[in-house]
Amino acid sequence: NIQIIPYKEYVTQYDVQLFNLQYLNDLNNYSNGWKTYISELCAQLCDTDAEISKSLIDLGNFDKTTPEELIERIADSDEFSRRGADSEHILAIVRHKNNKKIQNRIWRAQMQVFFPIIEFNRVNLIEKWFDEIQNSLMNENVKQYGVQIYDPYEVELGTLYYLTIHKIDADKFKLYIPDQADRNKINFLHTCRNQLAHMKCCSPEQIEN
């Protein structure tokens, strides 16, 4: 009366992500933002292998070490030396040095977590400097994809960055934002968004900021 239960018919990547969140909830060494990212990252990397995902979380230091380095340590460990027979298993991918596939899994996690955060920050900046941006749109004939825009909320980060660094003349920018911290923030968000849009991952330092 022995019954075979196919693991993958009952456990999905989403289940592993929920397990990660529950497990991370009891840990105090990360902020809630980091916990959200780590849960998604480990689920994307490890797929349905919850045990490897937990080991990756336990290894820690996501804010100082790249996910590639952490998962390589697990792949090289004696504990999991026999794990990874399936060619799509993360340990097999690491051992075959398929860096492109590893990067793609990390990138998917970052797109899920950070792209909405970047957009949220863009909207916050537009709300804060709404009048200045609206004046720039009215006076500078600003176009995106060949179409002139008038609504500040339609201004993408690339356009926002362009307007803040280009001058009409020697003493006047197309868009002047007097707060240096916010100008730096626009530059930073623009850089991160460009990386993600071109399927490049953000570094731990960028994520921390």
pLDDT, tens digit (0-9, with 9 covering 90-100), for 42-88: 999 999 999 999 999 999 889 889 999 999 999 999 999 999 988 89
SS (H, E, C) 169-208: ECCEECCCCCCHHHHHHHHHHHHHHHHHHCCCCCCHHHHH
pLDDT, tens digit (0-9, with 9 covering 90-100), for 88-126: 999 999 999 999 999 999 999 999 999 999 999 999 999
Residues 6+ apart with CB under 8 A from 202: 110, 114, 192, 195, 196
Long-range contacts of 37-41 (CB under 8 A, 24+ apart): 37/62, 37/109, 37/110, 37/113, 37/114, 37/207, 38/62, 40/109, 40/112, 40/113, 41/67, 41/106, 41/109, 41/110, 41/113
Q: What is the pTM of this model?
A: 0.87
- Contact by Cβ (8 Å): 142, 175: no
